Amino acid sequence: MPCLTELHYLFYPNGVKIIPKNIYELLTPVVLAHMIMGDGSVQRHGLIICTDSYTIEDIIRLINVLIIKFRLECTIHLKRKNQYRIYIRQGSMTSLFNIISPFMHPSMLYKLKSSLSNPS
């Protein structure tokens, strides 16, 4: 499909996975829901997005969009050397739930609800 080929070129130029420079325009609530369903991991006090294969520059680009566009409170966690993950803090879980739950498969809602029921 041509639309998928176009996305592939954006995210895999020269065969290397990146966060494209125009991620602000690309990242919608639907895309964020899919990202969390595929790469999200519920934590006791929030949610981790497993972004281990991206560079720190890519992670900063993505986290800036999450903060500015969606008003989510996020930090970067170092998993291993040169492997970074985005942590969405529990204080943003209600907002995240409101933004993406309509687009999530019911079997994946546990990734959001678990953190909602664990107040700090």
Higher pLDDT, 50 or 116: 50
pLDDT above 70 coverage of the chain, percent: 94
Rounded distance, CA 110 to CA 118, Å?
Answer: 12
Average pLDDT value for residue range 77-102? 93
pTM of the model: 0.87
Q: Determine contact, residues 100/35, Cβ cutoff 8 Å.
A: no
**112 pLDDT higher than 60:** yes
Token representation of residue 74: 């996020």
What residues contact residue 12 under an 8 Å CB cut-off, 6+ apart? 18
β-sheet with 83-89: strand ranges across:
40-43, 46-49, 83-89, 74-80
Alpha helices in the chain (DSSP H): 2-11, 23-26, 29-39, 56-70, 93-100, 110-116
Q: Does the pLDDT at position 117 exceed 70? A: no
**Encoded tokens for 82:** 């040169």
pLDDT at 120 over 70: no
Query: Which of 38-42, 79-83, 88-92, 97-101 comes out lowest in average pLDDT?
Result: 79-83
Task: State yes or no: pLDDT of 67 exceeds 90.
Answer: yes
Domains defined for the chain, CATH in brackets: 2-116 (3.10.28.10)
Q: Which ranges constitute the DSSP H helices of 19-92?
A: 23-26, 29-39, 56-70
